[in-house]
Structure 1
Amino acid sequence: MLHAMHPTDIHSLLQRYQRGECTPEEIRLVDQWYDLLNHEQAPPELTPAEQAEVRTAMWQRIKDQTLQGEDLSPPLQPWYAQAGRWAAAAALAGALGLGAQQLLTRPAAPATLATAQASRWQLYTNTTAQPHIVQLTDGTRVRVAPGGQLKYPGQFAAQHRTVYLQGEAFFDVAHDKAHPFRVYTRQLVTTVLGTSFRVQAPVGAAPVVVQVRTGRVRVQPLANTPAGAKPAPLVVLPNQQAVYSPQRHALARGLVAEPVQVAAQSFAFDDRPVPEVLAALEKAYGVTIEFDAPALAGCSVTLNLPEASLYDKLDVLCKTLGATYTKSDTRILFRSPGCRAR
């Protein structure tokens, strides 16, 4: 299909792309061309003149669709189609005879000073081998992983705080109930009031993962399913994660691989009932542990596990009792034969 496109069709496609009238399939096609150009590869189906037209269309689209001032409502198209390909913009600005900084900071229209400052977007790309902290004007700290890209305004708008992420970053969001903080990726929007969480938004079809450390977030897919429905948003709590599969258009919630302690708790137990131990683990890690209370009646243990992880603690407890546990969504199911015969 790509090789069969007539030059007139390509020209029409790029014009519709600039106006935001493309279908999702057409957006993916232009997106693919941008990816190739960003990696200094010429799309084989395009002539040099058509490649130049792609660059021009991309540049114009970025200029036209850059969010400004207080107009920070969720985009009707995926953010990468509206805001443009950041890496491609930086790489191709030279080819267009324009500076990347001009791209990121130029307001799209005349405005007041406050609006102009809010619309002056900054782009940080971590090209180092170490995470880098970006301090935002509201006090939020963003730890951008190597290869990650963060787009943020020089000054947040009056109604909400919105940033864009490609790659991975950990957010420690300053609490502000009146101004929700929103992180857009290619596939999801994550909304918080004040919390700390990690977003992994790789390029391509790999799943997008949002992991919460403290507080809570709401995760909403941007794209509709093939049937036209949009997956329902999920509220994600500490030590939980939301995983979105772009290929299956499925959003699921579960526990993170290594839950962290969220509340102070002693893990020294001297001949204490097992239900008390499990309740202490629930409190310390903010997870739900389901167990058969009658089966554990009369069971007690003596343990001291101050440094072990949650799952290491459970492993020791299971070994002591001859029990097992499994993870089911956001719960841990603890099963024990009981202690009556001991």
Structure 2
Amino acid sequence: MVFPRYSQSSNRRTTLGVLLCAAALVASGCSASDEPAAQTTADTAAAATSTSSNTATKATTGEQTATIGLTYIPNVQFSPVYVADERNYLPAGVDYRHHGQNEGLFTALLAGQEQFVVAGADEAAAADSDELQVIAPYYEQFPVVVIVPGDSPIHTMADLKGKKVGIAGFYGETWYGLVAGLKQVGLTPDDIDIQEIGYTQQAALSTGKVDAVVGFSNNDSVRFALAGFATRDLTPEVQSLRAASLITTKKFAAEHPELTAKTVAALFHAYEDLIADPNLGVAAAEKLIPELNEPEQKEAAAQTMDATAPLLPSKTVGCSGLTATQGEALVAELNTIGVDTPKVVPQELLTDAYCGDV
């Protein structure tokens, strides 16, 4: 069986957006049926509006203004930005906005309507642009896992041989992670029975339609636990793939290095707060998501944050992985698993040049 090579679509939502949408019971505009819910006119209007407390500051100071794009509607997993804003860590003049459901991942950034965006480093590598640059990690740990029932005989990636494995689609971090993980144990997608199940991981696994599903440790695994279905996570071994990151354009960073560095430092300050107390993320998100006032929704958000905090980068690690060599390795790994990177300059994709204040 030959699987298609994946190239970035300008209209496809970021993997982080898909990850956010998959969180059952967390009020992110998605239905409990695992399918993305239609976005309302109000949602779209809200998403297209800057929602930071710094918005007023932008209009009243002479400082450079900048906007951080959050690639889906309000969700607890954007809490590092919410906390950075709420605690005034962000430099004056920096605000944020949520993307609409069908907004292109890097469209606003490349058009100059945003100056930063939270998205996958892998997505940036696969984008149809040579202008994107990863300037800080958002998740330090790669969050993709292969989930099996608690009583499954599958205990390693090698045990997947001949098994039915459910995937959302042949794209994004879950696909990248699965193929890279198989490669590390001497397997290829041809060695497993791939089932394209969309965003129905919970139903597909709990009903026995598949033997395993690919998802995220801080979403899908949490969902199964909330539903009372016992599972185990297998962690695919990836070499250089990087997930959610803070991304800007080379031009903006070069022209505004101080603002860029201060924005990176602000996020790291928020990461430290959230690592110490994940509940801060729930409290910050609750101000934007009224549904989190409901006990069941709030508990789901709390468990999601508990699973997210270990993924966040610490100041000890900082931006140590954002080197030219690592950029070349990331692109090479994507290419070996069939992902097209049409315009990226590998050695310029990642940089730690703006992490001096971390």
TM range (shorter): under 0.3
State the TM-score, normalizing by the size of structure 1: 0.24
Q: Which has the higher contact order (CA 8 A, sep 6+)?
A: 2
TM-score (norm 2): 0.23
Structure possessing the higher radius of gyration over alpha carbons: 1
**Bigger share in strand:** 1
